[in-house]
């Protein structure tokens, strides 16, 4: 752990709930987010600790509630803030008296998106997702020839990114099934193949200089932290519109992030070697480094839960639909940052990357219903007997993630929750 005292699994906090073995937010985590008390107050910056939030202004740790300014600081300043938080929240700290007045219960606040999000890019880093989905569209040629060379991505839209708790109406759009006769007009209606995508969000810290690529060695200094991310997708709209320029209205009606940014410092104990399967080409030199091979992967366990309206009425928390791990991704965080800037593209503080759907190697590890239901052909039967090929109105999708290994304190990401509402009346009618 490089002697980072803030990661010592033996550390305990004077905030009692942070010492609960099941909390996502022990003193070793210290993720950052924005909150307000009630629905109208000003946004404030906070750090999750157990079931509480430490208000960073009230604790005297920041002057203003500007998350972007905090994120744009260099690595040394970020490190110093983490150390101050770790020292001050530690059991026996002299800060307890002053800081206990700066705590707010998480149950008493509204969380916001963690920072002002500038640009949003979605990647496609799971080769398992790319292969399974590719098979549905192109059975004889599932994985396109660029996949193992280029971290595939597209520019998305930040304006409709919401925070956990988001509810949005089922989108309208044009669809035309692949089986429709050639030349027939498309249908226009609410999507009937609405899906989720299990992803992680990567938040950019420090910008690059305009025009200057970020090297693999520098890449992680430009990353502030990770969240959960649900890239809701209307598969029927996507299937009709996506060629030749890629996803458009099938993706930009809603995307949901979890409120707490878990820093790379907190994730340090869960780094793993990153290697490609034998026989695969090595990444081009600009996307390769010894450090990336030694510890580029991050062991983050991921889960998707579904709570239908009927389950909710029955007081049922939902079914776990799948589990996967971020360590199975084909491209690392550093490779995404480096590739995105290799042409001189400017990344700015608060930019968000989606990792792409994080499916694992086995079929039951699909990170979307498209995969789990075989393109809608094999509906899932839920624990209460309901069936799903795609999402129904009233369905709530809950993403969760945590890191756990011997010799380290378990940390988690909290939840990323979103609910599908019925479609609005017909547009233009």
- What are the residues binding Mn ion (CB under 5 A)? 122, 197, 231
Query: Of all residues in this chain, which one has the CB nearest to Mn ion in the complex?
Result: 231
Residue 404: how many CB atoms within 10 A of its CB? 14
Q: Considering beta carbons, is residue 197 or 351 the nearer one to Mn ion?
A: 197
Helices (H) and strands (E) in the chain, counts: 11, 26
Residue 268: how many CB atoms within 10 A of its CB? 17
Q: Considering beta carbons, is residue 175 or 252 the nearer one to Mn ion?
A: 252
Minimal distance in Å, beta carbon 232 to Mn ion? 9
Catalytic one of 128, 129, 222, 340: 129
Minimal distance in Å, beta carbon 410 to Mn ion? 27
Taking CA atoms, 321 is separated from 174, 175, 371, 395, in Å, by 29, 27, 11, 13
- What contacts 24+ positions apart, CB below 8 Å, involve 236-240? 236/173, 236/175, 236/177, 236/191, 236/192, 236/193, 237/171, 237/173, 237/174, 237/175, 237/191, 239/175, 239/176, 239/177, 239/178, 240/174, 240/175, 240/176, 240/186
Q: Considering beta carbons, is residue 129 or 410 the nearer one to Mn ion?
A: 129
Q: Which residues, other chains included, contact 283 with Cβ-Cβ below 8 Å and sequence gap of 6+?
A: 149, 276, 335
Q: Considering beta carbons, is residue 122 or 328 the nearer one to Mn ion?
A: 122
Taking CA atoms, 376 is separated from 1, 29, 55, in Å, by 45, 39, 46
Minimal distance in Å, beta carbon 234 to Mn ion? 12
> Under a CB-based contact definition with an 8 Å cutoff, are residues 382 and 308 in contact?
yes
Q: Considering beta carbons, is residue 24 or 122 the nearer one to Mn ion?
A: 122
Q: Which residues, other chains included, contact 27 with Cβ-Cβ below 8 Å and sequence gap of 6+?
A: 6, 11, 12, 13, 15, 18, 49, 86, 89, 90
User: φ and ψ at 63, to 5 degrees?
Assistant: -85, -30
Residue 129 falls in the annotated catalytic set: yes
Minimal distance in Å, beta carbon 231 to Mn ion? 3
Which residue in the block uniquely carries the two structure tokens 């709930």? 17
Q: Considering beta carbons, is residue 98 or 143 the nearer one to Mn ion?
A: 143
Minimal distance in Å, beta carbon 237 to Mn ion? 14
Question: Which residues are part of the catalytic machinery?
Answer: 129
């Amino acid at each position: 752990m490089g002697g980072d005292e803030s990661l010592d699994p033996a550390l305990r906090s004077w905030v009692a709930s942070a010492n609960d073995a099941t909390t996502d937010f022990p003193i070793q985590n210290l993720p950052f987010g924005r909150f307000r008390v009630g629905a109208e107050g000003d946004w404030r910056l906070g750090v999750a600790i157990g079931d509480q939030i430490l208000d960073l202004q009230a604790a005297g740790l920041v002057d203003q509630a500007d998350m972007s300014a905090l994120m744009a600081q260099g690595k040394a300043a970020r490190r110093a803030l983490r150390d101050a938080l770790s020292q001050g929240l530690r059991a026996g700290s002299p800060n307890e008296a002053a800081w206990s007045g700066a705590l707010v219960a998480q149950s008493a606040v509204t969380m916001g998106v963690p920072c002002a999000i500038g640009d949003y890019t979605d990647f496609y880093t799971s080769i398992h997702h790319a292969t399974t989905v590719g098979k549905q569209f192109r059975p004889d040629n599932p994985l396109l020839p660029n996949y193992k060379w280029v971290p595939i991505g597209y520019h998305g839209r930040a304006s409709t990114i919401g925070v956990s708790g988001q509810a949005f109406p089922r989108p309208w759009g044009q669809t035309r099934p692949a089986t429709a006769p050639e030349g027939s007009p498309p249908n226009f209606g609410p999507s009937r193949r609405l899906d989720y995508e299990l992803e992680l969000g990567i938040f950019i810290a420090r910008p690059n200089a305009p025009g200057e690529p970020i090297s693999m060695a520098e890449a992680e200094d430009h990353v502030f932290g990770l969240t959960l991310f649900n890239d809701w997708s209307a598969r029927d709209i996507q299937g009709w519109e996506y060629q030749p320029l890629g996803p458009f209205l099938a993706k930009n009606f809603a995307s949901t992030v979890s409120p707490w940014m878990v820093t790379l410092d907190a994730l340090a104990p869960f780094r793993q070697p990153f290697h490609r399967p034998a026989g695969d080409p090595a990444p081009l030199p600009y996307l390769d480094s010894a450090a990336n091979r030694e510890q580029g992967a991050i062991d983050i366990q991921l889960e998707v839960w579904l709570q239908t309206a009927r389950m909710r009425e029955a007081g049922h928390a939902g079914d776990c639909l799948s589990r996967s791990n971020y360590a199975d991704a084909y491209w690392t965080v550093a490779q995404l940052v480096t590739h995105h800037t290799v042409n001189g593209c400017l990344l700015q503080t608060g930019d968000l990357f989606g990792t792409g759907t994080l499916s694992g190697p086995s079929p039951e590890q699909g990170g979307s219903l498209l995969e789990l239901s075989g393109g809608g052909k094999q509906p899932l039967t839920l624990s209460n007997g309901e069936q799903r090929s795609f999402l129904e109105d009233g369905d709530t999708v809950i993403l969760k993630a945590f890191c756990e290994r011997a010799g380290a304190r378990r940390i988690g990401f909290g939840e990323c929750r979103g609910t599908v509402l019925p479609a609005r009346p017909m547009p233009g009618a």
